[in-house]
Amino acid sequence: MAQPRVVLVVGSLHHDIMVEADHLPRVDETAVGRRWYPKFGGKGGNQAVAAQAAGARARMFGAVGQDSFGTFLLDALDKGGVDRHFVSQVEDVGSGMSVAIQNAAGDYAATIVSGANLSIDPVRLSDHDLWTDVQALVLQNEIPVEVNLAAARTARARGIKVILNAAPARDVPRELRAVVDVLVVNAVEAEMFGAEPVTDLASALSAARHLAAHYESVIVTAGAQGLAAWTLEDAQITLPARKVQVSSTHGAGDCFTGTLAAALAEGRSVHEACERASDAAASHVQGRPSA
């Protein structure tokens, strides 16, 4: 039996400190929380674990510090079955971390400190073994754009599909846009990139069409509304979200992107990949693993 295809994730690793509170604090307010706990995170790390859970062989390229947070992150990658041979431990800088506050409704806000993620060495992308059997590359915006560009160019030269989850929103240079096959953004990010506000599936589709001027395929996720996509392959796609009881939305977007990458690496169409990823994200927000 053939082994699953490899999804390579080049991206961030964060030790998350999760805080639960009744509501998110306003400016100058000291809110009282109910509890806190550590959690494995970073968009890159989360997406790698999700891709592995979705049936791919996930490989992580990134960096952590030589500290207890770094040990926590490496252990979590091992537990998730992710190949972390290409995650380096850098000296004299702390591991990436974040503090996220989640309210009673399951919504959250977070602040990240990039730390070692800013020390990822793009030269190491030239390692031939890194690219063995890779069918899809996943990038995000929590690492330097120079690293993303180097990874995407290498992938494009090898005929590997490039997926950019442009979160958090920041300027994407024309050189990077030219080597990205699939752009994934949420409603807020789509608006920050110049689309009209996304309030429903029709406006999500309009936003995807607007952004498709620069990308071959664009997927706009709209939370409880669902998602819309504009692609050369499947033209217009709209998928209503499955109605679920929300436990927490934290990490749902990363679950979506990792599962999407696993399906695309398997050779699925964008439409099929979106269906799988949407189902996985719905299970995630319920606090249950996807089937």
Q: Is 180 left (phi over 0), alpha (psi -120 to 50) or beta?
A: beta
Q: Which of 138, 100, 80 is nearest to 289 (CA)?
A: 80
Percent of the chain clearing pLDDT 90 (strictly above):
80
User: Which strand ranges, in their side-by-side order, compose the sheet holding 14-21?
Assistant: 33-41, 14-21, 96-102, 108-113
Residue 245 reports pLDDT greater than 80: no
Buried b / exposed e over 199-227, threshold 16 CB at 10 Å, is eebebbbbbbbbbbeebbbbbbbbbebbb
- Neighbour tally for 255: CB within 10 Å: 25
C-alpha 31 chain-centroid distance: 29
Residue 224 reports pLDDT greater than 90: no
Residue 135 reports pLDDT greater than 90: yes
Going by pLDDT thresholds of 50, 70 and 90, the confidence category of residue 247 is low
User: Would the pTM count as exceeding 0.85?
Assistant: yes
| Between 216 and 288, residue with greater pLDDT | 216
Q: Name the class of domain 6-24+35-180+242-285.
A: alpha beta
- Convert the pLDDT of each residue in 49-82 to its tens digit: 999 999 999 999 999 999 999 999 999 999 999 9
Residue 131 reports pLDDT greater than 70: yes
In terms of C-beta distances under 8 Å and separation of at least 24 residues, what long-range contacts does 145-153 make, across chains too? 145/170, 145/172, 145/173, 145/176, 146/122, 147/10, 147/120, 147/122, 148/10, 148/176, 149/173, 149/175, 149/176, 149/179, 150/122, 150/125, 151/10, 151/61, 151/122, 151/125, 152/176, 152/179, 152/180, 153/179
- The CA distance from 40 to 16, in Å, is 6
What number of CA atoms fall less than 13 Å from residue 15's CA on the CB side? 19
Contact 237, 270 (CB under 8 A): yes
C-alpha 13 chain-centroid distance: 11
Region 201-215: what's the mean pLDDT? 94
